[in-house]
C-alpha cells in the first residue's frame, strides 16, 4: 500500500491539471471586452456624456444653437469720464450794452429758439443811438427832397449851379450821417426788422434793447437778475445745444498709444443706459499729477440722458485679436470645476469638456475640445447642465 501511494497521488494531480488547462486556454484566446460596455452596445462613459432630447423637447426648453467659428476678441479698458457741452454748440450771451436788466424771460433748463428774445436791457446808450438814427433819417429824407427839387430846377436852367451843388453836398452829408447812425445800431445788435420799426415805437420802447438767442438750445446758466446793472461785457445767459455732448476721458499712459480718432467709446449713464460714441480729440498734453492723457469723445444725446457735469464710466475698445474658434461666454457651463459646452448631435446634446483661451466680456476663445463647424447650445444651456446632473445619479 505504501508503495502504491505515490502512484495514486500522481494520477490525481494529472487529472486536475487536465481539467484546468482548457479553461485557461479559453480565457486567453477569448476576444477582449470593454468592462464599461452596456447591454445595448454603448459605453457607460458615452451614456453619461449624451443627453437625449427630441426636437420637440429642445424647442420646448427654448435651447438655441450656434456654430463654432473664427472671430475677434476686443480688448477694453474702463476709465472715468466727465460729461460737458460741445464747445461748438455753446453760447455765452452778453448784454452788449450798458444799462439795467428789465426782463429775464428764460429760466434754467428752458428751451430757446435761435433769434428768440430771451432778455430785455433798459439802456440810455441804446436810447441815444436810436434817437440819433431817427433824427438822421428824418434829416436825410428832407435833404433828399430838397436835392431832388434843386436838381430839377438846375436841369431846367431856373436855378444857379452853385445852389444845386450846395444842395447835393448837404444831401450827401445827411446820407452819411444816416448810414453811420444805422451802423451804430447794427453794432448794438439791432436787427434790420427792429431798425425799420423804430419810427413806430413809443418813447418807453426806445430805451429797450432786446437780447436774442444766438443758437437753439437750453439755458444751462442764468447769471443776472432783474434790476441788476450790466455793461456791454456782462454775461447774462449761457446756452447750450445738448443734442451733442462731449466726455473728457482720463486715459492711463500705458494705453494712450492705443487710442485713435474715431475709436468707439461706450458710456454707462447713472440709470444703467449705454450710449455709443467715438473719440474726437486726442490731446498731446499729459496731466503731470495723475499721469493720464486727455482724450475727448463725442456722443449724440437725443433724449438728453447725458447732463453736463455728470461723472460716468467710459469703456473703450483698444484692439481686436483674431481667434480661430470663438464661442459666446454664456455657452460655457462649469461642471465639476471644468468648463463644459454641449455639442448638438443626432440624439440630443453631448457634454464636452473644453480648454479655453483669451476672452472678453461677450466671447471666449476655445483652444481644445471643439472643432470649427460644431453646433453648440448658446441659449438656455443651463437646462442641459441640469439634465447632465441627472445622468450622473447612479441607478440602483
Tell me the per-residue pLDDT of 306-355, one tens digit each, with 9 for 90 and over. 888 888 889 887 767 788 898 999 999 999 899 999 999 998 999 999 99
Q: What is the pLDDT of residue 24?
A: 37
- Per-residue pLDDT tens over the stretch 372-381: 999 999 998 8
In this prediction, residue 272 has a pLDDT band, given cuts at 50, 70 and 90, of confident
Rounded Cα distance between 114 and 120, Å, is: 16
> Cell 454641449 identifies what position?
342
The residue among 378, 270, 371 whose CA lies nearest residue 331 is 378
- Least trusted range by pLDDT, from 267-271, 279-283, 325-329: 267-271
Q: Is a pLDDT exceeding 70 seen at residue 395?
A: no
- Per-residue pLDDT tens over the stretch 104-118: 999 998 999 999 999
- Find how far residue 147's CA is from the centre of its chain: 68
Residue pair 151/171 in contact (Cβ under 8 Å)? The answer is no
Rg of the chain in Å (alpha carbons): 46
Phi-psi category of 325—alpha, beta or left, where left has phi over 0 and alpha has psi -120 to 50?
beta
Q: What is the pLDDT of residue 47?
A: 59
Show Cβ contacts of residue 99 under 8 Å, excluding neighbours closer than 6 positions: 121, 122, 123, 124, 125, 126, 207, 209, 229, 230
CB-CB neighbours of 236 under 10 Å: 23
31-45, 279-293, 354-368: range with highest mean pLDDT: 354-368
CB-side exposure of 37: number of CA atoms within 13 Å? 7
Q: What is the pLDDT of residue 254?
A: 79
In this prediction, residue 269 has a pLDDT band, given cuts at 50, 70 and 90, of confident
For 329-360, where are the E strands, in sequence order? 333-335, 338-345, 348-353, 355-359
Q: Is a pLDDT exceeding 50 seen at residue 193?
A: yes
Q: What is the pLDDT of residue 198?
A: 86
CB-side exposure of 196: number of CA atoms within 13 Å? 3
pTM recorded for the entire structure: 0.57
Q: What is the mean pLDDT of the chain?
A: 83
- Find how far residue 189's CA is from the centre of its chain: 39
> Cell 444651456 identifies what position?
381
Rounded Cα distance between 391 and 45, Å, is: 11
> Cell 479553461 identifies what position?
23
DSSP assignment letter at 356: E
- Per-residue pLDDT tens over the stretch 212-253: 999 999 999 999 999 999 998 999 999 999 999 999 998 888
All structural domains of the chain, each given as residue ranges with its CATH number in brackets, are: 46-73+322-391 (2.40.420.20), 76-87+241-320 (2.40.30.170), 98-240 (no CATH)
- Per-residue pLDDT tens over the stretch 135-184: 999 999 999 999 999 889 888 888 888 888 999 999 999 999 999 999 99
* Percentage of the chain lying above the pLDDT 70 cut: 86
* Percentage of the chain lying above the pLDDT 90 cut: 46
- Per-residue pLDDT tens over the stretch 246-255: 999 988 887 8
Residue pair 312/344 in contact (Cβ under 8 Å)? The answer is no
**Lookup: cell for 7:** 502512484
In this prediction, residue 279 has a pLDDT band, given cuts at 50, 70 and 90, of very high
Amino acid at each position: 500500500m505504501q508503495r502504491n501511494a505515490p502512484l495514486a497521488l500522481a494520477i490525481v494531480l494529472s487529472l486536475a491539471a487536465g481539467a484546468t488547462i482548457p479553461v485557461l486556454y479559453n480565457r486567453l484566446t477569448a476576444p477582449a471586452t470593454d468592462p464599461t460596455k452596456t447591454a445595448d452596445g454603448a459605453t457607460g462613459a458615452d451614456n453619461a456624456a449624451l443627453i437625449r432630447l427630441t426636437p420637440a423637447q429642445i424647442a420646448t426648453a427654448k435651447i438655441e444653437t450656434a456654430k463654432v467659428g473664427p472671430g475677434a476678441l476686443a480688448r477694453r479698458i474702463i476709465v472715468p469720464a466727465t460729461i460737458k457741452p460741445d464747445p461748438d454748440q455753446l453760447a455765452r450771451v452778453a448784454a452788449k450794452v450798458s444799462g439795467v436788466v428789465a426782463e429775464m424771460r428764460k429760466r434754467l433748463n428752458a428751451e430757446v429758439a435761435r433769434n428768440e428774445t430771451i432778455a430785455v436791457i433798459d439802456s440810455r446808450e441804446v436810447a441815444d443811438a436810436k434817437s440819433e438814427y431817427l433824427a438822421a433819417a428824418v434829416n436825410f429824407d428832407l435833404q433828399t427832397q430838397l436835392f431832388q427839387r434843386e436838381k430839377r430846377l438846375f436841369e431846367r436852367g431856373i436855378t444857379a449851379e452853385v445852389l444845386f451843388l450846395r444842395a447835393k453836398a448837404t444831401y450827401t452829408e445827411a446820407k452819411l450821417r444816416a448810414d453811420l447812425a444805422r451802423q451804430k445800431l447794427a453794432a448794438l445788435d439791432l436787427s434790420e426788422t427792429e431798425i425799420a420799426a423804430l419810427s413806430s415805437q413809443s418813447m418807453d420802447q426806445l430805451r429797450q434793447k432786446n437780447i436774442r438767442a444766438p443758437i437753439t438750445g437750453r439755458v444751462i446758466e442764468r447769471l443776472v437778475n432783474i434790476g441788476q446793472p450790466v455793461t456791454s461785457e456782462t454775461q447774462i445767459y449761457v446756452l447750450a445745444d445738448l443734442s451733442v455732448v462731449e466726455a473728457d476721458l482720463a486715459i492711463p499712459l500705458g494705453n494712450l498709444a492705443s487710442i485713435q480718432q474715431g475709436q468707439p467709446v461706450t458710456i454707462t449713464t447713472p440709470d444703467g443706459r449705454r450710449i455709443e460714441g467715438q473719440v474726437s480729440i486726442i490731446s498731446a498734453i499729459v496731466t503731470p499729477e495723475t499721469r493720464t492723457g486727455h482724450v475727448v469723445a463725442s456722443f449724440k444725446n437725443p433724449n438728453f440722458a447725458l447732463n453736463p457735469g455728470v461723472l460716468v464710466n467710459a469703456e473703450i475698445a483698444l484692439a481686436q485679436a483674431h481667434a480661430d474658434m470663438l464661442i459666446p461666454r454664456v455657452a460655457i457651463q462649469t461642471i465639476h470645476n471644468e468648463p463644459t459646452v454641449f455639442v448638438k448631435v443626432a440624439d440630443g446634446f453631448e457634454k464636452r469638456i473644453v480648454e479655453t483661451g483669451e476672452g472678453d466680456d461677450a466671447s471666449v476663445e476655445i483652444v481644445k475640445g471643439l472643432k470649427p463647424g460644431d453646433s453648440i447650445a448658446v441659449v438656455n444651456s443651463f437646462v442641459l447642465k441640469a439634465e447632465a446632473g441627472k445622468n450622473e445619479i447612479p441607478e440602483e
